[in-house]
Amino acid sequence: RGGRMTGSVDAGATAFILATGIIGILFAFYQFRLIASIKLEGDGDENSFRLLADGESQTRLVEIYNAIRQGADSFLFAEYKICMLFIVAFG
């Protein structure tokens, strides 16, 4: 009919979008549970390990965290600036 999309094609696309969204959310939840299961300090179990052995390790961890956060903030600022330019130019 003149190249128009039928309802079944639209329904198929919608189902695909919803399915991939749900799969993505489930995968994100799985990754969250995987990371949350890592213990930062040993609980006395011989199979556990101490990620933070002492205060010096924790201090270093905070330094690394701050450096990553600063880099991420700088990156996002640059991305938002570029996006704003496109919005102003083409919006």
- Give me the tens of pLDDT residue by residue for the chain, a chain 91 residues long: 555 656 677 889 999 999 999 999 999 999 999 988 887 665 555 554 555 556 677 788 888 999 999 999 999 999 999 999 999 999 8
- Both tokens of residue 44? 């006395």
Contacts 24+ apart (CB under 8 A), 68-71: none
Q: Which helix (H) or strand (E) holds 49?
A: none
Please state whether 44 falls in left (phi above 0), alpha (psi between -120 and 50) or beta.
left
pTM for the full model? 0.43
Provide the 3-class DSSP secondary structure of residue 52: coil
